[in-house]
Structure 1
Amino acid sequence: MGAFVEADPKRATCAVIVTYHPDPAELPEVIARIAPQAHRVFIIDNASPPAHLQQALPAPLPDGVDVIRSATNDGLGRAYNRGAQLARQAGCRFVLLMDQDSVVAPDLVARLVDAHAQLKADARVGAVGAAFIDAHTGHPAPFVRIGFPLNRKIPAPERGCVECDFLISSGSLIELDVLDAVGGMDEALFIDNVDLEWSFRARASGYRLFGVGDARMTHRIGHTVRRLPLGLGDVVVHAPVRLYYMMRNRVLLYGRPQTPRVWIAQDLPRLALKLARLSLFVQPRRRNFRAMVSGLLDGLRGRSGPCTRIL
């Protein structure tokens, strides 16, 4: 990358961290890493118990960091939208979306803003996203171009950018004018696939998405990674309620006009494989199966929003 085009990346950027029962051993480092890089940091907490949140937050909070507590768990999409509105009020140009377990490199914001400025000279940039190391495995995650029968996984380059078809929300830098044009995150999805849906909508609106190889962070996918028997590989383990949302929301995306048909074609076998593997080999097997089937049925019924029943 060349010299920064944006005169002051920090002044231009507001970071939004969404928390829900955050890890007290992890959140202080997440905040400490991003606070020096952003004009403001808004922690949007989705109804964590007050004592738990207080234990997880550093004391005192760094300058420019504010905590906004919600009385109810409003989901990831609504929290990001609320944070984007606060970023507008703070006079920032960009919003950086972050999860509570994403630990960023000291120059992440500068790298992303620089890449955005250079890419924008030749492209309609929807978002730029960080390359990340999976905290469970220590392996770098690739960027993805959708294909059939399999997606094409592109290793994050040491330097430079790669175009991709979607970005995970955490580590994504989005210009607020683009959010105005594309629309905010879909709050009805509540949590899983919120980033996928927005990526599809942005690309359908003519914007392009890019992964930035030298903007780096560590990030955790799921609770744990488990090795399956019979040489069936590794599987990311999630709680049953998350499996419900994963299944429900992918079915909801199948019916969205902005969703690429090729993604649907290659996701259907993955849906079946996920259902089989997590029902047969990962505890609690019966609860996993019930949660996933419940999600599939609710997706077919067109139900969205928070799941209000016990799974």
Structure 2
Amino acid sequence: MPVSVVVVTYNPDLKILSSLIIDNISQFNKVVVVDNSSRNIELIKSIFSGFNNIDIISLDENVGIAAAQNIGIKSLVNLPDDEIIVFFDQDSSIDFGYLDRLEAEYSLLEGDYSGPIVLGPTFFHRYDHFEYPSIKFTRFGFRKKIYSGRGECAVEVDCLISSGMSLRKRVLELAGLMDELLFIDYVDTEWCLRAISKGIKIFVTPNLMMSHEIGSGHLKLKGFNIPVHPPSRRYYRIRNSLLILKYPYVPKLFCVREFFVSSIHQFLFFIKLRDIEYLKTYFQSVKDAMKKRRN
């Protein structure tokens, strides 16, 4: 089952990126690489220059993951409505047979559910091998962590990581494009919750597994693994947790919880890493969120 792929890149590790695409090129109908002004863009172009079904869209600036994904989606406008599109991050890794299992999972789920679906893999940390949970919300907005890797079949969830997320093209036409205002953090969360509000079911399956790494490391405190991002990235985490409060389909309790936890993390980073930029970024992100909510 050929699928089409959108990959967003920003200064990628070329070994991982080329392995993802070239090792699976025979099963990809169309590959669109949208590059957010990487320093190594010429090397990216040279690696994939010999493939007719790979398009490289090189942007002059970093427009964020949401806008870059939208550019990739729009470039696939001529694909049939039932074409499966898969989103990958630049550091995504899939094993041999992944796409065959994807086909099997679609056949099974679409046989059970007549409506539109979105399917994602189970994620494990690339080096420490712990599972990243998916999220299901209670009716009151409390988060419930779903560890799909402990089961045998797909489970319904409310949020997926965008890397590895697959859907038919017509699902995008129903749910809409990614929200470019959010730039990077909560782009996948907001889109998934919007999709659910339009009657789309979202699943994660243990039969598809991917390695992934969130952040440039982890701050380990009393059994908790806190992903570490630079202050410039943390800005969007804090700002967007406040911005999505205005979205009617996003649970308010979730937003409050995310802002509260992100605030604690920000001050922990400031204390543990001794970097004043975390403190400056925190106040700037709150200020900007309040300003955008008033507009």
- TM-score with structure 2 setting the length: 0.89
Matched-pair contact (CA < 8 Å) for 1:166–1:209: yes
Deviations 1:27-55 (A, max 9, x none): 22222244232111111101113xx1233
Cα root mean square deviation, aligned: 2.3
Matched-pair contact (CA < 8 Å) for 1:141–1:155: no
Matched-pair contact (CA < 8 Å) for 1:132–1:217: yes
Long gaps (5+) in structure 1 = 1-8, 305-311
Following the alignment from structure 1 to structure 2, what is the Cα–Cα distance between the partners of residues 213 and 63?
Answer: 33
| Aligned pair partner of 2:19 in 19, 29, 39 | 29
From the superposition, tell whether residues 156 and 63 of structure 1 become closer, same or farther in structure 2 (CA, over 3 Å).
farther
Answering whether residue 77 of structure 2 is matched by residue 84 of structure 1, we say: no
Answering whether residue 187 of structure 2 is matched by residue 199 of structure 1, we say: no
Comparing 167-176 with 105-114, which one deviates more in the overlay?
Answer: 105-114
Matched-pair contact (CA < 8 Å) for 1:165–1:200: yes
Answering whether residue 8 of structure 2 is matched by residue 18 of structure 1, we say: yes
Following the alignment from structure 2 to structure 1, what is the Cα–Cα distance between the partners of residues 59 and 99?
Answer: 27
Quote the offset at 1:62 in angstroms.
4.3
From the superposition, tell whether residues 120 and 105 of structure 1 become closer, same or farther in structure 2 (CA, over 3 Å).
same
Percent identity, aligned pairs only, is 26
Query: When the two structures are aligned, how many residues end up with a matched partner?
Result: 289
Map of 1:208 onto structure 2: 201
Following the alignment from structure 1 to structure 2, what is the Cα–Cα distance between the partners of residues 134 and 270?
Answer: 21
Deviations 1:155-213 (A, max 9, x none): 32463201111001100002111111110111111111110110110111121100021
Matched-pair contact (CA < 8 Å) for 1:107–1:215: no
Answering whether residue 247 of structure 2 is matched by residue 256 of structure 1, we say: yes
Quote the offset at 1:59 in angstroms.
5.8
Long gaps (5+) in structure 2 = none
Answering whether residue 143 of structure 2 is matched by residue 155 of structure 1, we say: no
Following the alignment from structure 2 to structure 1, what is the Cα–Cα distance between the partners of residues 103 and 274?
Answer: 43
From the superposition, tell whether residues 61 and 193 of structure 1 become closer, same or farther in structure 2 (CA, over 3 Å).
farther
Corresponding letter in the other structure for 1:29:
S
Matched-pair contact (CA < 8 Å) for 1:158–1:213: yes
From the superposition, tell whether residues 220 and 56 of structure 1 become closer, same or farther in structure 2 (CA, over 3 Å).
farther
Comparing 38-47 with 79-88, which one deviates more in the overlay?
Answer: 79-88
Map of 1:95 onto structure 2: 85
Quote the offset at 1:288 in angstroms.
1.2
Following the alignment from structure 1 to structure 2, what is the Cα–Cα distance between the partners of residues 224 and 297?
Answer: 28
Comparing 143-152 with 18-27, which one deviates more in the overlay?
Answer: 143-152
Following the alignment from structure 2 to structure 1, what is the Cα–Cα distance between the partners of residues 274 and 85?
Answer: 38
Following the alignment from structure 2 to structure 1, what is the Cα–Cα distance between the partners of residues 225 and 132?
Answer: 15
Map of 1:221 onto structure 2: 214
- TM-score with structure 1 setting the length: 0.84
Following the alignment from structure 1 to structure 2, what is the Cα–Cα distance between the partners of residues 290 and 111?
Answer: 46
